[in-house]
């Protein structure tokens, strides 16, 4: 491996010298050519020049167009317009790119002798623009046409580019597993062509697909294949992109310090390249990592710089994502006025771009902000907008987030039944995500185990073949006694190696099984936590229903006439009243003990001398019910309950009822 890397290193300078010589020759050919040959020479010269200086190539074409504007109807100009369109695409100037593509199409599609390679490049570039605009069905249509013409032209470089773009189109649509197949086709062709940088790009793309599926082990494997390739050809831009991808992966694994280290390395490279837009992307990711860490001051510092770098830029700069994260920082720093301002700007940009995921994210951020401010109706409106949009996006993570935010909003509004319904939907989508990840991890372990078994069998067979050859040599060179001793020794050694390998494989497999069980136990713990939250919501809903029932019975008594009162009391006495055993209260206490069975014993042990009525009030305060609801459930007046609560928090040596509620909820 060291010799291969040395040869690659030694050949790089010669390659660069040869490239500079070729560009000089192409420039000289362009300067001396005339007529249609001059147009062909210009196309070859610009194509080579843009690999070194994209802006110089664009300027050369612009000047040439200006000097020969009268000749623009010539069909030979089609390839030049296409080259200019590709330069504008690489500069993220998509509107101008489409203008040049339209000019190119009039020449390329009208030509009697159509150029399959040029048409393939034309449809490939057009598909890429639609992909950037998130018109993914349109981009897939143009990529299919591009692939047809690329295969007709037998240009392997173009075929690989189209396959790579098709994979990215699947990735944008959330079809991560489907993306791997065209990526693999592109990788196979790139390996034949020997383009190291582009091979590394595809390894990174495959790693992105595995990361999006939640298979972080396979994702890291692909990134590790790409890393030495970028370094071997000194591809700083590709290396910066890879480090950025590693930072995003470790952020998803909640290793924020490691994520920041990768993002800062990527930022340093992008600064050296003076690529301000890529620089701003690194700052966005650094800000996002600091938000996850809870360091909103540092997050804001990075994001504000990113905003300034993006403002005024043409093309796909996605400044609305930056604005949304700045709004989050201001919200957490309790500057709600600025937060709303940034969220509004982010929403305007996302709507203009048609980025539905970003729109849903802003809606969720606004829901949280207005919930924190106590403006619950506004929070509810944004939560419902997020859910409606998430249903259109139709991905488990977006739907789970929308249902969770709505559940918290309804809980704040006191609508516990609606809160429970949305929390159950949230739990369903969360379990779906957990099940997919668990299935993926199980499949990976099984594949790894089968691979190791096959490898061990091959090694064992190879070892047996080597032993046979050695035995044959000893038979020819040594006497029978010596041969017998050597063969015996080899057999013993082989047996020991076999036993050692078998035990080592068994230990490795047992370790993986233990790790899998640990993950399953963690998943079970998360499920139990969710079940507890569901039970608490049901218990609160039960108490609310019991309160409404008692209020209804009281109202019914008040509406009866005096002569009807006695008969009504006899009837209601069977189902109501605190003087007789109350079946509704007993049912509530049974449900409460199922969820918080140790609450009353612990409270009684800490505060001895509490009466039965005081313990009942403590139970209802722990559920965060109002004094009115407590009075209705216990069959007492509001003033009586209020005084009982006052005596209770004074008895427990507390300042007010809010402190008492917080204390009881924490037990």
Question: Residue 412 is inside which H or E element, if any?
Answer: helix 396-413
Beta-carbon contacts of residue 374 (< 8 Å; ≥ 6 apart)? none
d(CA 205, CA 168): 8
List pLDDT tens digits, range 422-433: 998 888 887 765
Contacts of 233 (CB under 8 A, 6+ apart): 8, 12, 196, 197
pLDDT score, position 7:
30
| pLDDT score of 392 | 87
C-alpha dihedral (642, 646, 652, 656), degrees to nearest 10: 100
d(CA 197, CA 409) in angstroms, rounded, equals 49
Alpha carbon 138 to its chain centroid, in Å, reads: 24
Q: SS3 sequence, 564-628?
A: HHHHHHHHHHCCCCCCCCCHHHHHHHHHHHHHCCCHHHHHHHHCCCCCHHHHHHHHHHHCCCCHH
Task: State percent of the chain over pLDDT 70.
Answer: 72
The DSSP call for residue 77 is: G
**Using one digit for the tens of pLDDT, what is the confidence trace for 41-65?**
666 666 665 555 666 666 666 666 5
Burial of 443 (0-12, 13-18, 19+ CB in 10 A): exposed
Q: How far is CA 356 from CA 55, 323, 379, in A?
A: 33, 16, 19
**Nearest-CA neighbor of 321 among 289, 354, 362, 352?**
362
**What is the spatial distance between Cα 11 and Cα 19, in angstroms, rounded to a whole number?**
12
Distance in angstroms (rounded) separating the CA atoms of residues 62 and 54? 12
In this structure, are residues 565 and 527 in contact, taking their beta carbons and an 8 Å threshold?
A: no
Residues 364-379 have a mean pLDDT of 91
Q: What is the pLDDT of residues 68-119, one digit of tens each?
A: 544 544 556 677 777 777 777 777 777 878 887 887 777 776 654 567 888 8
Q: Which residue has better confidence, 145 or 572?
A: 145
Q: CA nearest 160: which of 173, 177, 143?
A: 143
What does DSSP assign to residue 637?
Answer: -
Q: For the ranges 138-142, 333-337, 503-507, which has the lowest average pLDDT?
A: 503-507
């Amino acid at each position: 491996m060291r010799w291969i890397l040395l040869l690659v290193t030694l050949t790089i300078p010669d390659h660069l010298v040869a490239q500079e010589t070729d560009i000089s020759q192409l420039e000289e050919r362009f300067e001396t050519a005339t007529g249609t040959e001059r147009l062909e020479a210009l196309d070859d010269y610009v194509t080579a020049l843009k690999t070194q200086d994209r802006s110089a190539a664009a300027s050369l074409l612009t000047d040439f167009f200006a000097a020969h504007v009268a000749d623009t109807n010539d069909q030979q100009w089609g390839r030049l317009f296409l080259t200019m369109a590709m330069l504008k695409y690489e500069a993220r100037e998509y509107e101008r790119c489409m203008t040049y593509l339209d000019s190119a199409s009039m020449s390329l599609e009208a030509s009697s002798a159509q150029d399959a390679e040029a048409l393939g490049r034309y449809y490939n570039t057009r598909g890429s623009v639609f992909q950037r605009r998130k018109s993914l069905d349109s981009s897939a249509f143009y990529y299919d046409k591009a692939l047809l013409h690329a295969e007709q032209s037998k240009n392997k470089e173009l075929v690989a580019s189209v396959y790579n773009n098709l994979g990215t189109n699947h990735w944008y649509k959330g079809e991560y597993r489907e993306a791997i197949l065209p990526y693999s086709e592109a990788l196979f062709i790139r390996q034949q062509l020997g383009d190291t940088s582009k091979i590394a790009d595809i390894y990174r793309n495959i790693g992105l697909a595995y990361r999006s599926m939640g298979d972080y082990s396979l994702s890291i494997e692909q990134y590790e294949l790409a890393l030495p390739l970028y370094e071997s050809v000194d591809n700083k831009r590709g290396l910066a992109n890879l480090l950025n991808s590693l930072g995003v992966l470790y952020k998803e694994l909640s290793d924020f310090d490691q994520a920041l280290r990768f993002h800062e390395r990527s930022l340093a490279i992008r600064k050296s390249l003076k690529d301000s837009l890529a620089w701003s992307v690194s700052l966005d990711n650094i800000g996002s990592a600091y938000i996850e860490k809870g360091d909103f001051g540092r997050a804001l510092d990075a994001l504000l710089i990113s905003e300034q770098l993006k403002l005024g830029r043409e093309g796909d700069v996605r400044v609305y994502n930056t604005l949304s994260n700045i709004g989050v920082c201001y919200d957490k720093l309790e500057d709600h006025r600025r937060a709303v301002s940034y969220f509004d700007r982010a929403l305007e940009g996302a709507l203009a771009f048609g980025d539905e995921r970003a729109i849903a994210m802003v809606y969720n951020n606004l829901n949280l902000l207005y919930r924190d401010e106590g403006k619950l109706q506004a929070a509810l409106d944004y939560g419902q907008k997020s859910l409606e949009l998430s249903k259109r996006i139709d991905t488990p993570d977006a739907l789970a987030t929308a249902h969770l935010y709505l559940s918290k909003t309804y809980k704040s509004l006191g609508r516990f039944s609606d809160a429970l319904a949305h929390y159950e939907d949230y739990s369903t989508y969360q379990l779906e995500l957990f099940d997919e990840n668990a299935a993926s991890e199980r499949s990976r372990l099984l594949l790894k185990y089968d691979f190791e078994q096959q490898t061990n069998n091959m090694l064992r067979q190879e070892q047996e073949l080597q032993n046979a050859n050695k035995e044959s040599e000893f038979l020819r060179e040594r006497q029978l006694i010596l041969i017998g001793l050597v063969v015996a020794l080899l057999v013993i050694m082989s047996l020991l190696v076999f036993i050692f390998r078998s035990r080592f494989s068994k230990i490795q497999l047992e370790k993986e099984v233990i790790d899998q069980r640990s993950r399953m136990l963690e998943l079970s713990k998360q499920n139990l936590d969710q079940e507890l939250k569901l039970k608490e919501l049901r218990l609160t809903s039960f108490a609310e229903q019991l309160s409404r029932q008692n209020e209804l019975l009281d109202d019914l008594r008040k509406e009866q006439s005096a002569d009807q009162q006695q008969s009504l009391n006899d009837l209601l006495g069977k189902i109501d009243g605190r003087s007789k055993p109350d079946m509704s209260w007993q049912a509530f206490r049974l449900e409460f003990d199922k969820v918080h069975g140790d609450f009353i014993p612990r409270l009684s042990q800490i505060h001895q001398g509490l009466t039965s009525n005081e313990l009942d009030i403590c139970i209802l305060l722990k559920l965060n019910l109002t004094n009115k609801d407590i009075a209705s459930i216990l069959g007492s007046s509001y003033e009586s309950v209020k005084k009982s609560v006052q005596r209770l928090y004074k008895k427990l040596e507390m300042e007010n009822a809010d402190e008492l509620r917080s204390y009881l909820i924490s037990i």
